[in-house]
Amino acid sequence: MRFAPLAMAGLLMLATAASAQDSVNSEASAAMRGGSMADLVAKGYEIKAAVANGTRYIVFLQKDQSAYACEFVSVTKSRCGSIN
């Protein structure tokens, strides 16, 4: 567990890179899904937990009573969805 802080820092850096990617989805559908993890962090959501799911990571974010789960599809791409 000593590497957990380093892993979280790496995930944040990857999320920043994800915001620079080209979007193939419309803004409306991205808003319904929650957008990328970088977008959620920019809106004030805080990372509460991260777990490995096979070769991918699932990151849980929360702000007030709203929560999202984000899956890293690749190193530069994440997809998020509301869990409440």
All structural domains of the chain with their residue ranges: 4-82
Residues whose CB falls within 8 Å of the CB of residue 70, separated by 6 or more in sequence, listed in order: 34, 36, 37, 40, 58, 59, 60, 61, 78, 79, 80
What is residue 10's predicted lDDT score, i.e. its pLDDT?
A: 53
pLDDT value of residue 8: 53
pLDDT the model gives residue 28: 39
pLDDT tens digits for the chain (84 residues)? 454 544 454 555 544 444 434 344 444 344 445 678 888 999 999 999 999 988 889 999 999 999 999 998 887 888 999 998
